[in-house]
Amino acid sequence: MVSDLDAYFAIRLESLKNAPTNFMSSYEEEERTGNSFFEGILRHEGIDNIIFGAFIKDKLVGVIGIYQENQFKAKHKCNIWGMYVQPHCRQIGVGRALLREVIDHAKDRLKCLIANITVESNNISAIRLYESMGFKLWGNEPKAMYWNGQYFDEYHLSLLLQDVG
């Protein structure tokens, strides 16, 4: 909801500061541009580009986004992005619940066939979570990101959501 914009933007900036190699965007870029990009998404004007949040005692502790490809030939695919759970809420199922919610949305509401996600190759806990939910690694993009004088690879994973027939 748009009323959660400030809370979302605060956790988004936190994620970029605490885990800079887990996201292609940077803290500095998003702090400079502000929260206007996310306002339209949080208005839920459509179901094809949406951000989900996890709340504990009315406090936003985790987020995840999904968007459906908009080209006619690619509408069967969606992309999951921006997943982050605050450190004190990890290992208690928040990330798994967020991922389950976004997968259900992709399958049931968007009617997508494939959900794609990327992950920095050293983010072992995220890779384990994605694989435990059925995502399959299909590619490695070498040197996909450059941060603080170092290159980082990015893995590409996909989950088949519907039976192909």
- Name 136's bridge partners: 158
Give the pLDDT confidence of 19-28 residue by residue, as tens digits.
999 988 888 8
Is the pTM above the cut of 0.85? Answer: yes
Q: Does pLDDT of 144 surpass 90?
A: yes
**How crowded is residue 155: how many other Cβ atoms within 10 Å of its Cβ?**
21
**How crowded is residue 165: how many other Cβ atoms within 10 Å of its Cβ?**
3
Q: Does pLDDT of 37 surpass 80?
A: no
Topology of 2-160 in CATH? Aminopeptidase (3.40.630)
DSSP SS3 for 97: helix
Token couple for 37: 């990009």
pLDDT (average), residues 17-45? 77
The domain segmentation of the chain, as residue ranges, is 2-160
